[in-house]
Amino acid sequence: MPERARAAEALMADVSETCARIVAEVFAPAAENTEEQQQQLDAESAWKAKGGEAVLQEFVLGQAKKLEPPPVTSMKKLTLLGS
């Protein structure tokens, strides 16, 4: 039984490490979007949507926003194993 617990502990450590690495890769900062974002802001200030178009525009702009990376916490060692 302790062997299985240690194996599970090792697997969880691998999963936590992989998640942290993948989050850094997926949510990498994009420096090239600044010019595109500036053009988009200029275009937004030129025309204001009203009614249903405003709802659609808000939805589309909300989908384009950059997502924040989820927090990845590491698993503590199992106290039952005496570690």
* Alpha carbons 25 and 7: distance in angstroms, whole number: 27
Tens-place pLDDT, residues 15-57: 989 998 888 888 776 555 566 766 776 666 667 778 888 888 8
10 or 45: which carries more pLDDT confidence?
10
Q: What is the pLDDT of residue 29?
A: 65
- Of 38, 29, 32, the residue nearest 67 (C-alpha): 29
